[in-house]
Chains A and B, each alone.
Chain A
Amino acid sequence: MTAAANGAAGGVRRDFRLTDSTLRDGSHAVAHQFTPEQVRAVVAALDGAGVPVIEVSHGDGLGGSSFNYGFSRTDERDLLRAAAEVRRRAKLAVLLVPGIGVADDLHEVREIGVDVARIAVHCTEANISGQHIGLAKELGMEAVGFLMMAHMIEPKELLEQARLLEDYGADCVYVVDSAGALTIDGAKARVAALKAVLGCQVGLHAHNNLSLAVANSLAAFEEGADQLDGCTTGLGAGAGNCPTEVLVAACEKSGIATGVDPFKVIDAAQEDVRPLRPLQGVIDRDGLILGYAGVYGSFLLHAQRAAQRFGVPCTDILLELGRRKAVGGQEDMIIDVAVELSRRAAAAQAAQA
């Protein structure tokens, strides 16, 4: 992808396209409690800083508001309307996970003014997304295929799945490190494998559990990535995402054009997002374990709650979920695992008594 082809209207030079997901992935970190006021403030600040794409949805995508993932405080369509009111230049994006949201949801958000539909599937299940990618294109939206938990399979297998997404019409396919488990080599190998063969764009969505989100994003750029994701302050599932303002600053110093004003995005992060979660960015034990064990980041708050509810260590729950190879969306498995661990602990205690 050339910078010119990726460049925004108005002559802003961009070497890759940045999507900020503070208001989607960040929804996990605030237990889906975003208000329209918060959305308006963040969108206005990011748009003003020149962020080209802003994603707004429940953390688990359209239709994610549920017992399993947590109910939204405000209907995501109202949050999208709030975002649409204040954005000037930025494209508006949504996430949709087939099996959670349905294609019909896209009709509604298209009318609100959403430009980009990001369709997310577990990295081995690309063929459940054909109808959703197809509809996004039919509605005149840009379609992005999102291959979650990409650390779980080899680059060659990931490429096979990516080709399906491209065949369905995806304009870009993302390598999604949902667990923050990819090392630099792993991220590079996956992006390179896709870039070598696909005709469409390639992106990386990084999480920071191993403190590698910015490094992996820069490495992906070196391998030719056309799109990268961030969240201001890193606000997102698990240990958080690639912090948008840090990525922009690091790019600036490396001579990579983002089209985003570093000082404005730093201000946006500090003033509009940091107050929502002051300690965002700290990689604590649970956050690190997620990345180390390769566990889906959104499980974090649910696992912490279950640990408290059933009196078992959160680390044990996370490690067991990793052993069972739980995939994105299986939050219900957390209750299952916690109940079982607590029963096992009770049995062990009874045996001792």
Chain B
Amino acid sequence: MANRDVKVPCAIVGSGNIATDLLVKLQRSSVLEAVAMVGIDPASEGLARASELGVETSAGGIDWLLERAGDLGVGLVFEATTARVHAAAAPRYREAGMTAVDLTPAAVGPLVVPTVNLGGHLGEANVNMITCGGQATAPVVAAVSRVVPVPYAEIVSTVASVSAGIGTRQNVDEFTRTTARALEQVGGAARGKAICIFNPADPPILMRNTVFCALPEGYDEVAVAGSIEAMVAEVAAYVPGYRLKSPPVFDTGPYATPGGPAAGRVVALLEVEGAGDWFPPYAGNLDIMTAAAVRAGEALARARIGVPA
């Protein structure tokens, strides 16, 4: 059995704000140790910050990392670049025997939410963290679908305009499509739909998510609400600012949903306040991604080295 005092070395690929926030969170991890951050711009502020925090850095990109991975003992990487970069890098990590936690929309590996389906993917060489909206809403859909079949789930994710980077903005469709897929593949809904809204209010709003689940005849309100509340508590264990704004609201239909007729629906209103590590607290959308990624990385590392959870 591995020594629990020895942390598992990992690397961060990418040197933007997500990468910096990941680094701050990894420094608190009792399982992982970030030993390197790689980027492609020698003038990157992210690399400078990482260097100050005592992490080895390089602007030599993935080539440098693969060359040095052996010496650094890195078997786990967090990819915080872009979908295109990750799609190209994924086979190289796999070849090098490295496990990748993918924070880009590349979705090379299965979509995972730590509290829902990560346990079934601990042997994967690559897992994808979906989208911020997916991390925030798929668990709630899963909470409902473990109690009652969900013919259709729909979510509305609203984030502060200042918290949405240019990558997201240039490809909003990728966000809506990937999130909708997660409602089905991870959440267990027969059909999923995602809506994404940017709100420019100043001061910036906290990330908010509304989850609608269609409910079949004979649903049990107490069981559905209880399951949602339990799931929210589980997610809040790694995203402390993740909470229901009010108890789930039940409405009686009938509704003609794209997944078929439904007798009623449940509406869960969620708010995500970030931990305020590198991002300001309103950017709960970014915080939930990095927090979920660290959580996933820790579980994969434990599985890899046989440390009991």
Residue picked from A67, A122, A331, A340, most chain B C-beta under 10 Å? A67
Residues of B within 8 A of A124 (CB): 161, 200
Pair A335/B210 contact, Cβ less than 8 Å: yes
**Which residues of B248-278 have CB atoms within 8 Å of chain A's CB atoms?**
249, 251, 255-258, 265, 267, 269
Q: Taking the nearest CB of chain A, how far is it from the CB of B202, in angstroms?
A: 8
* Chain A residue nearest to B246 in the complex (CB): A339
A111 contacts the other chain (CB 8 A): no
Selected from B154, B156, B176, the residue in CB contact (under 8 A) with A102 is B176
A128 contacts the other chain (CB 8 A): yes
Residue picked from A99, A103, A325, A333, most chain B C-beta under 10 Å? A99
**Which residues of A50-79 have CB atoms within 8 Å of chain B's CB atoms?**
63, 65-68, 71
Interface flags, A211-233, vs B, CB<8A=1, else 0: 00000000000000000000000
* Chain B residue nearest to A123 in the complex (CB): B200
Pair B173/A324 contact, Cβ less than 8 Å: no
Pair B193/A130 contact, Cβ less than 8 Å: no
CA distance A325 to B161 in the complex (A): 13
Pair B255/A67 contact, Cβ less than 8 Å: yes
Task: With A67-B265, A104-B173, A335-B269 as known contacts, state yes or no: A99 contacts B198, CB within 8 Å.
Answer: yes
Q: What number of A residues sit within 8 Å (CB to CB) of B?
A: 34
Q: Taking the nearest CB of chain B, how far is it from the CB of A69, in angstroms?
A: 9
CA distance A98 to B196 in the complex (A): 8
Pair A66/B172 contact, Cβ less than 8 Å: no
B contact face: mostly helix, strand, loop, or mixed: strand
* Chain B residue nearest to A331 in the complex (CB): B156
Residues of A within 8 A of B177 (CB): 102
CA distance A335 to B250 in the complex (A): 11
Selected from A128, A131, A329, A339, the residue in CB contact (under 8 A) with B195 is A329
Pair A330/B197 contact, Cβ less than 8 Å: yes
* Chain A residue nearest to B214 in the complex (CB): A67
Pair A127/B170 contact, Cβ less than 8 Å: yes
A154 contacts the other chain (CB 8 A): no
CA distance A217 to B197 in the complex (A): 29
**Which residues of B138-197 have CB atoms within 8 Å of chain A's CB atoms?**
154, 156, 158, 161, 166, 169-173, 176-177, 193, 195-197
Selected from A98, A325, A340, A343, the residue in CB contact (under 8 A) with B172 is A98
Pair B166/A127 contact, Cβ less than 8 Å: yes
Selected from A68, A333, A335, the residue in CB contact (under 8 A) with B154 is A68
Pair B195/A68 contact, Cβ less than 8 Å: yes
B282 contacts the other chain (CB 8 A): no
CA distance A329 to B173 in the complex (A): 16
Residues of B within 8 A of A329 (CB): 156, 195, 197
CA distance A170 to B53 in the complex (A): 47
Task: With A103-B173, A332-B210 as known contacts, state yes or no: A71 contacts B199, CB within 8 Å.
Answer: no
CA distance A124 to B204 in the complex (A): 14
Pair B173/A102 contact, Cβ less than 8 Å: yes
CA distance A343 to B249 in the complex (A): 13
Pair B198/A68 contact, Cβ less than 8 Å: no
B245 contacts the other chain (CB 8 A): yes
Q: Taking the nearest CB of chain B, how far is it from the CB of A270, in angstroms?
A: 32
Q: Taking the nearest CB of chain A, how far is it from the CB of B197, in angstroms?
A: 5
Q: Taking the nearest CB of chain A, how far is it from the CB of B86, in angstroms?
A: 20
A100 contacts the other chain (CB 8 A): yes
Pair A99/B255 contact, Cβ less than 8 Å: no
B201 contacts the other chain (CB 8 A): yes
Residues of A within 8 A of B (CB): 63, 65-68, 71, 98-100, 102-104, 122, 124-125, 127-128, 130-131, 309, 324-327, 329-333, 335-336, 339-340, 343
Besides A67-B257, A122-B197, 9 more A-B contacts (Cβ < 8 Å) are A67-B255, A68-B195, A71-B257, A102-B177, A103-B173, A128-B170, A329-B197, A332-B267, A339-B245
| 28 pairs of residues in contact across A and B, judged by CB atoms under 8 Å | A66-B193, A66-B195, A68-B154, A68-B210, A98-B172, A99-B176, A99-B195, A100-B176, A102-B177, A103-B173, A122-B199, A124-B200, A125-B198, A127-B166, A127-B169, A128-B169, A128-B170, A131-B171, A324-B201, A326-B199, A329-B197, A331-B156, A332-B158, A335-B269, A336-B210, A336-B245, A339-B245, A340-B246
